[in-house]
Amino acid sequence: MTAPRPVPTDAELAASLEGDFVSAYADVNGVRLHHVTGGSGAPLILLGGWPQTWWQFRKVLPALARTFRVTAVDLRGMGGSDKPESGYDKRTMARDIHELIRHLGHDAAFVAGHDIGASLGYHLAANHPESVRRLVTIDLGVPDASWLEIGMLPGSDEQAAALAHGSGGYPWWFAFNQVRGLPEELLVGRFRPVIDWLYGHMLLDQDSVEEDARRIYAHAYDTRDAIRAGNGWYQTMRQDITDLASYDPVTLPVLTLAGETSYPALRAQMGADKGTDIRVVEVKGSGHYVPEEQPQIVVRELAAFFAADSTPAGGR
């Protein structure tokens, strides 16, 4: 039997990208964060989601690096970053990124986040608006009180049938990831089926996430600490909702990119209670994993949205 190929290191993955990308670490807010940076221009911070790592941005990083000094971050608990026992509420994680922006030598940056990273980006803008020039959230709303009403069962026979036939993203993991201790017992060393189920149900084009990427993500989440830490992003959801209720709507410009299935819900969720300048755009031909499924559209939308920023050079 042929031994499986080793999973590349973050440094090897970074070096494989066009744009002189470098893998590095930063000690901020009491946690060590791994990040990958390349390119030149205005600073842009990319924040990813579960269950992925910074590598989910591999298809957009080279193009973005032609215009931006772009940094893709492994969040607290993700990939090569520390996995402490606590600190997974988005207010604390927002402080991580606020301090990382300063560590990288920037007063402020453009920020784009997908999935958990989208929620984190919003909490960053709400708590540290001086650090965010413009914000893009990708295929996730900001968890608010309405999320507490998500049902434990599929909402219709049609949704149940779709799930049975391998499509639809009914979020069973919202509940599963709340259980403390059990996911580690069940999934340690066996995380690959979770990766394949999520992509199987939430991609429109299965070929858009290749075998090597799936191996990288499964490897990143195969340990007890990684499973526990990733679940921590979900176990703080009630605290995140409480914190959100204390914020005023953000006033900086926000663009939300939504896959086809998410667009109707996100158009409703990202309303005036979230911000005074929010635009929601549907990404045709994409499910949930937009940066991997439609990278050219992501690059185009980010470049146009950030180019409209009027902050003077050398300003905040």
- Which residues are catalytic, by number? 115, 234, 288
Q: In what order do the strands lie in the sheet with 42-47?
A: 22-28, 31-39, 68-73, 42-47, 109-114, 132-138, 254-259, 278-283
Token couple for 292 = 């991997």
Distance CA 280, CA 136 (A): 10
CB atoms within 10 A of CB 260: 15
C-alpha 201 chain-centroid distance: 18
Q: Does residue 70 contact residue 136 with C-beta atoms inside 8 Å?
A: no
Distance of alpha carbon 163 from alpha carbon 180, whole angstroms:
26
Spacing of C-alpha 148 from chain mean position: 21
Question: In the numeric block, which tokens belong to residue 127?
Answer: 């708590």
Query: Which tokens is 68 given?
Result: 């931006």
